[in-house]
Structure 1
Amino acid sequence: MKVLLDTCVWGGVRTELATAGYDVVWTGDWSEDPGDEEILATAYSEGRILVTLDKDFGELAIVRGTSHCGILRLVNLSARQQATVCLRVLELYGNELTSGAIVTAELGRVRIRPPDEA
């Protein structure tokens, strides 16, 4: 599974996901931040699930109808918790995400917005 981590996601998540076998790119490695629209467009063109802390991506997808390959938003998690929750959500809800769902995850709670509602 291919994943694009937004800059706001702890860089250690990249290591954890790569160790688990995911194909991971972290925007924190890019020379500059191209902005949310370009990040989402890159994730879409490369067939990557976008993982972020930023609710603006959901707004781009829902309000503006911007195409995407799934968005996972992590909420109220410490840096270390981000990796654990991200791995668990990708394991449990990877199919929904790759189908274009928007998943919001926090400790003990996951909300899924199916693609037909996005």
Structure 2
Amino acid sequence: MDFLIDVNASRNLGNVLISQGHDVALVTDIDPEISDENILQWVVREKRVIITTDKDFEQLIWQKNKKHFGVLR
């Protein structure tokens, strides 16, 4: 499974997922200031599940009906 670790989630979690064979991208490695909307575009393009503690994704996905591939909080 492919994941995207948001800036507020643990890098250690990303390392654990990588050690288990998952493909993991870290927002902090690309652009820690990227907007949530741009993160959603990124995960849709790469078919990744977002791992975050940010409640804003729920608003974007369920209230604004933005496309996604899953969010784990």
With the shorter chain as reference, the TM-score category is over 0.9
Q: Which one has the largest radius of gyration?
A: 1
Count of paired positions: 73
> Does 2:42 align with 1:42?
yes
- RMSD of aligned alpha carbons: 0.9
Unpaired runs of 5+ residues, structure 1, are: 74-118
Query: Which residue pairs with 2:18 in the alignment?
Result: 18
Deviation of 1:18 (Å):
0.1
Instruction: For 2:10, give the aligned amino acid.
Output: W
In structure 2, distance between residues paired with 1:31 and 1:56? 18
Secondary structure at the residue paired with 2:7?
coil
Describe how 1:1-118 pairs up with structure 2 within 5 A.
1-73=1-73
TM-score (norm 2): 0.94
Deviation of 1:32 (Å):
4.1
In structure 2, distance between residues paired with 1:37 and 1:27? 13
- Amino-acid identity (%): 33
TM-score (norm 1): 0.59
Higher strand share: 1
- 2:7–2:32 CA contact under 8 A, matched in 1: no
Unpaired runs of 5+ residues, structure 2, are: none
